[in-house]
């Protein structure tokens, strides 16, 4: 695990079938594409509904042991797509897992006041960062999909319910 500013990097094992299954979702579901963010995203979920994503989802949960996933979704960035500046406020933490990342598919850029950090991810990279940290994804200049899973987190409750 390496760190840069407010961002923590992890490596997650992604089953090769996940990318194919996400593309099938992209083709079969009437979900959001374009709009505010500029890429296709699946419906937001609170738990994992896809058996083919179970082991990867569990590895993300393990990587963020002190946090609870409260919302997550898939993103598909087609050639030419970009993801505009945004943050994940009001969530304390956010994360992105790179499932398929062809060369030239677009770096992620973070902005905190006048400080900028750009990272060119690879498949299996998982970035955990402050939910209030502004970020964007550069234009996908490849001929294939950039596929990610995005997450919003809160601190796990420290008291028994």
Q: Percent helix, strand and coil across the chain, each rounded to 5?
A: 15, 40, 45
Rounded CA-CA distance 157/161 in Å is 9
pLDDT along the chain (161 residues), means of 10: 65 94 84 61 88 95 94 93 93 97 97 92 97 95 96 78 47
Whole-prediction pTM value? 0.90
Q: Hey, where are the domains in the chain?
A: 6-155
Domain at 6-155, CATH from 3.40.47.10, 3.40.50.1220, 2.60.120.620, 3.40.50.9100: 2.60.120.620
Cβ(109)–Cβ(138) below 8 Å: yes
Name the nearest CA neighbour of 28 among 14, 18, 42, 49.
Answer: 42
């Amino acid at each position: 695990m390496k760190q840069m500013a407010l961002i923590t990097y992890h490596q997650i094992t992604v089953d090769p079938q996940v990318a194919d299954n996400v593309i099938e979702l992209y083709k079969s579901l009437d979900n959001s594409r374009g709009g505010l963010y500029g890429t296709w995203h699946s419906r937001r979920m609170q738990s994992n509904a896809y058996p083919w994503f179970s082991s990867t989802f569990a590895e993300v949960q393990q990587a963020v042991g002190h946090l609870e996933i409260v919302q997550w979704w898939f993103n598909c960035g087609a050639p030419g797509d970009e993801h505009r500046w945004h943050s994940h406020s009001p969530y304390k933490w956010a994360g992105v897992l790179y499932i398929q990342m062809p060369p030239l598919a677009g770096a992620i850029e973070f902005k905190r006041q006048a400080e900028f950090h750009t990272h060119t991810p690879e498949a299996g990279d998982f970035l955990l960062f402050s939910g209030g940290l502004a970020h964007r994804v550069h234009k996908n200049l490849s001929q294939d999909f950039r596929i990610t899973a995005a997450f919003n987190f809160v601190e796990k409750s420290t008291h028994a319910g």
